[in-house]
Amino acid sequence: MKVLVPVKRVVDYNVKVRVKADESGVETANVKMSMNPFDEISVEEAIRLKEAGKATEVVVVSIGTAQSQDTLRNALAMGADRAILVEADGEVEPLAVAKILKGVIAEEEPGLVLLGKQAIDDDSNQTAQMLGALTGWPQATFVSKIELGDGSMEATREVDGGLETIKVNMPAVVSVDLRLNEPRYASLPNIMKAKKKPLDTKAAADYGVDVTPRLKTLKVSEPPARAAGIIVGSVSELVEKLKNEAKVI
Amino acid sequence: MTNLIIAEHDNSELKAATLHTVTAAQAAGGDITIAVIGEGVSAVAEQAAKVAGVSKVVTVDGAEYGHQLAENVAPVIVALAEGYKNVWAPATTAAKNTMPRVAALMDVQQISEITAVVSADTFERPIYAGNAIATVQSAESTNIITVRTTSFEPAAAEGGSAAVESVAGTGDAGISSFVSAAVTESERPELTSARVVVSGGRGMQSGDNFAMLEKVADKLGAAVGASRAAVDAGYVPNDYQVGQTGKVVAPELYIAVGISGAIQHLAGMKDSKVIVAINKDEEAPIFQVADYGLVADLFEAVPALEAELD
Ligand SMILES: Cc1cc2nc3c(=O)[nH]c(=O)nc-3n(C[C@H](O)[C@H](O)[C@H](O)COP(=O)(O)OP(=O)(O)OC[C@H]3O[C@@H](n4cnc5c(N)ncnc54)[C@H](O)[C@@H]3O)c2cc1C
Ligand SMILES: Nc1ncnc2c1ncn2[C@@H]1O[C@H](COP(=O)(O)O)[C@@H](O)[C@H]1O
């Protein structure tokens, strides 16, 4: 079984982004970029499936600018076998990403697609579910555990009330949550080896997908700032302030 | 027919998240229909019919909808959405699972987790863990919108008298099934609607030590939350996680104990009315958002706080 893993290049999770002065977006020039952290978890899971003999090949795909090659090389260094870059400029919305991924699936015919639950830049949490709709495959979202069976899979999902386990037919679309695994670091020899692994470049048009955004971003602004607080000297002062100043207890 | 709201419920009770969503839809204007999709949901439909401002309730009842499997529920919503301008749902895990599937079936780009309605087609939503707010305008013929419940007051649960209509579903897609659930039991208020939240982080050092926070929580009628680090370490269950990728809370009072204040955590609590931070590191970023900071060892401060609340 082939596993397809879509990975997105995003502003690193440690960066506190700044809104541009003209409110047209956030500052991304000279900002550290990394693989979306959830996608590191899905790459890791795919590699583990291969190491366990349950997957035969791990193919990673990214939709974005030429620089997304770095992200793909990173996934190859972790242990993925092959990469596909679908070049597209500007912001590509989840619906368009899902449509392109559907095209990639038609060519690659994976038995499983592992996505992140959420890209930490747009915070959409949509792509996996949309891909499920477009392929007609079942979806297991926000998963913290997967167990492959014969023609089906059991997945444990992180939900508002706790955990839920569902069974889905294969092929299936999965979105991974934080507790699924702890991603490995790529070793130096593997980073060197990754440079020689195959990386194909395509264009969104190859899949007949129009990536023009459907939603128009009118502006991007700073969130309201909180007023500065105070440091209290003791627990009793804290309780006094909460009672008499803030009046919340 | 303007607004269709997908109800959040557990087959017996309408959840408050739905009431917050009603307020968001009202801000966009037009009539409101609530759809209740589930198994044995007549009591939920009755509650939905009483919500102030709702003109109609439709129910779709069947065993295949009992666990909100997206493969079964999404086609039902697509069928119901016919003729509506906006389809809304609260940004709960159930709706986050289903609504994008609905949107793609309808060839619509969903608008996730809005925090404000600017006009009938324009909405605000946080991006980059809430470090920026995007104002987006939609030209879709139908808008699919999820709502951050903490950004909208709840509509009144009583006062309405909508007609209830039952509609046939679209059947079992037969590609997914429910196996089991491990629900976190708690006598305390629900995290997302509690008036006070007491959260612990890695500084708590163990799950057993959360008992200290629970004692404080019980004196304040509070819910207990946690940082990702505390959940990852297994101190508390996953549904305690507050943050960018966990739950978003905005209580009257949020007490962060042994939490450093990473941007991903702040994303889930910085709209709280009053924030208290207890941390032994005076440089911890959590103090930048705290109204009241206490630089102290939590193992001394928390028991003292509990005693002080008598
Ligand atoms: C993709 C992604 C998503 C994430 N989503 C979330 C999310 O939704 N929610 C979330 O919370 N995090 C999230 N994180 C993790 C986040 O980046 C931080 O790692 C996490 O919030 C840190 O948790 P913490 O503050 O408990 O631990 P730490 O950062 O380790 O802080 C522990 C704090 O406890 C204090 N402390 C220790 N001992 C004591 C003591 N005895 N008395 C007083 N203080 C003490 C220390 O001074 C320190 O400040 C996410 C990260 C990623 C990459
Ligand atoms: N441009 C992209 N290229 C590759 N994968 C993507 C892209 N955008 C989103 N994804 C995948 O979809 C997941 C969820 O993203 P989102 O729906 O934008 O929150 C990510 O974790 C990725 O696995």
Given this model, what pLDDT does residue A42 score?
98
Pick the residue whose CA is nearest to atom 31 on ligand 1: B260
Residue A91 lies in a domain: yes
Instruction: Specify whether B86 is located in the same domain as B211.
Output: no
- B309: helix, strand or coil: coil
A217: closest chain B residue by CA: B136
- Residues of chain B neighbouring A230 (CB-CB closer than 8 A): 291-293
- Closest ligand relative to A158 C-alpha: 1
Distance CA B153, CA B162 (A): 21
Q: Atom 1, ligand 2: which residue's CA is nearest? A: A63
User: Is residue A203 in a domain?
Assistant: yes
Asked if A33 reaches chain B (Cβ–Cβ under 8 Å), the answer is: no
In a domain? residue A204: yes
Q: Is residue B45 part of a domain?
A: yes
Residues with CB under 6 A from ligand 2: A 6-8, 36, 38-39, 62-64, 92, 94, 97, 115-116, 118-119, 122, 124-127
CB A85 within 8 A of CB A62: yes
Residue found under tokens 């997302």: B192
Work out how many domains chain A is built from and give that number.
1
What CA–CA distance (Å, rounded) separates B99 from B39? 19
Distance from CA of B7 to the nearest CA of A (A): 15
CA distances from B44 to B14, B60, B171 (A): 5, 11, 21
Size of interface A-B (CB pairs under 8 A): 256
Helices (H), B29-180: 42-50, 70-81, 93-105
Residue B14 lies in a domain: yes
CATH of the domain at B126: 3.40.50.620
pLDDT at res. B132: 97
**Is B75:B105 a contact under the CB 8 Å cutoff?**
yes
A197 occurs within a structural domain = yes
The residues with which B258 forms a beta bridge, in sequence order, are: none
Query: For residue B44, what pLDDT is reported?
Result: 98
> Which domain, by its residues, includes A51?
2-223
Q: Cβ(A194)–Cβ(B110) under 8 Å? A: no
CB contact under 8 A, B71 and A142: no
Q: What is the CA radius of gyration of chain A?
A: 21
User: Is the CB of B136 inside 8 Å of chain A's CB atoms?
Assistant: yes
Could you tell me if B16 and B128 lie in one domain?
A: yes
Let me know: does A42 contact A5? Beta carbons within 8 Å: yes
Q: How many angstroms away from the CA of B296 is the closest CA of chain A?
A: 9
Q: Which two tokens mark A204?
A: 């969104």
Domain assignment present for A240: no
Q: So what's the pLDDT on residue A118?
A: 98
Cβ contacts (< 8 Å) between A214 and chain B: which residues?
108-109, 138-140
Ligand 1 pocket residues where CB is under 6 Å: A 13, 37-38, 120; B 201-203, 227-230, 241-246, 258-260, 262, 264-265, 268, 279-281, 284, 297-299
Amino acid occupying residue B68: Q
Q: Which of A33, A95, A238 to mutate to test the interface with B (most CBs of B within 10 A)?
A: A238
Chain A neighbors of B309, CB-CB under 8 A: 239, 249
For residue B1, what pLDDT is reported? 86
| Contact (Cβ atoms closer than 8 angstroms) between residue A107 and residue A68 | no
- A86 alpha carbon, closest ligand: 2
| CB < 8 Å to B176, chain A | 138-140, 166-169
- Which of B245, B263, B274 should we substitute to test contact with A (largest number of A Cβ atoms within 10 Å)? B245
State whether B266 and B133 are in the same domain.
no
Asked whether residue B131 is marked as a ligand-binding residue, the answer is no
Residue B173 lies in a domain: no
Per-residue pLDDT of chain A (249 residues; tens, 9 = 90+): 999 999 999 999 999 999 999 999 999 989 999 999 999 999 999 999 999 999 999 999 999 999 999 999 999 999 999 999 999 988 999 999 999 999 999 999 999 999 999 999 999 999 999 999 999 999 999 999 999 999 999 999 999 999 999 999 999 999 999 999 999 999 999 999 999 999 999 999 999 999 999 999 999 999 999 998 999 999 999 999 999 999 999
Helix H or strand E encompassing B184: none
Whether B294 sits inside 8 A of A215 (CB atoms) is no
Q: What is the rounded distance in angstroms from the CA atom of residue A98 to the CA atom of residue A114?
A: 13
Domain co-membership, B32 together with B134: yes
Q: Which atom of ligand 2 is nearest to the CA of A92?
A: 1
CA A226 to chain centre: 30
Range of the domain at B118: 3-166
Contact A190, A78 (CB under 8 A): yes
Say which CATH number the domain at A160 has. 3.40.50.620
Establish if B13 touches chain A: CB-CB under 8 angstroms: no
Q: Do B7 and B155 share a domain, yes or no?
A: yes
Do B136 and B239 lie in a common domain? Answer: no
**A126-178 pLDDT, tens per residue?**
999 999 999 999 999 999 999 999 999 999 999 999 999 999 999 999 999 99
- Is residue A242 one of the residues assigned to a domain? no
The answer for A 66-125 residues in CB contact with B (under 8 A) is: 93-95, 98, 117-118, 120-125
Q: How far is the CA of A115 from the centre of ligand 2 (A)?
A: 7
Sequential pLDDT tens for chain B (310 residues)? 899 999 999 999 999 999 999 999 999 999 999 999 999 999 999 999 999 999 999 999 999 999 999 999 999 999 999 999 999 999 999 999 999 999 999 999 999 999 999 999 999 999 999 999 999 999 999 999 999 999 999 999 999 999 999 999 999 999 999 999 999 889 999 999 999 999 999 999 999 999 999 999 999 999 999 999 999 999 999 999 999 999 999 999 999 999 999 999 999 999 999 999 999 999 999 999 999 999 999 999 999 999 999 8
CA dihedral B88, A223, B15, B90 (to 10 degrees): 20
Q: Quick one: pLDDT at residue B310?
A: 85
Read off the CATH number of the domain in which B204 is found: 3.40.50.1220
**Quick one: B251 and B301 in the same domain?**
yes
- Same-domain check for residues B160 and B240: no
- Please tell me which residue of chain A has the smallest CA distance to B186: A161
Q: Are A72 and A105 in contact (CB under 8 A)?
A: no
How many angstroms separate the CA of residue A92 from the nearest CA in chain B?
11
Q: Please report whether residue B175 resides in a domain.
A: no
From B247, B293, B301, residue closest to A229, measured CB to CB: B293
If one counts every other C-beta atom within 10 angstroms of the C-beta of residue A23, the result is 16
| Beta-carbon separation of B74 and A230 below 8 A | no
Based on the domain organization, do B151 and B250 belong to the same domain?
no
User: What is the Cα–Cα distance from B234 to B129, expressed in whole angstroms?
Assistant: 24
Q: Are residues B127 and B276 in the same domain?
A: no
Residue listed under structure tokens 């906006």: B86
Query: In the structure, how many helices (H) and strands (E) does chain B have?
Result: 8, 16
- The protein residue whose alpha carbon is closest to atom 19 in ligand 1 is B229
- Residue A229 covered by a domain: no
DSSP string, chain A: -EEEEE--EEE-TT----B-TTSSSB--TT--EEE-HHHHHHHHHHHHHHHTTS-SEEEEEEEESTTHHHHHHHHHHHT--EEEEEE--S---HHHHHHHHHHHHHHH--SEEEEES--TTT----HHHHHHHHHT--EEEEEEEEEE-SSEEEEEEEETTEEEEEEEESSEEEEE-TTS--PPPPPHHHHHHHTTS-EEEEEGGGGT-----SEEEEEEEPPPPPPP-EEESSHHHHHHHHHHTS---
Whether B221 is covered by a domain: the verdict is yes
> Between residues 161 and 180 of chain A, which touch chain B (CB distance below 8 Å)?
161-169, 177-179
Q: How many domains does chain B contain in total? A: 2
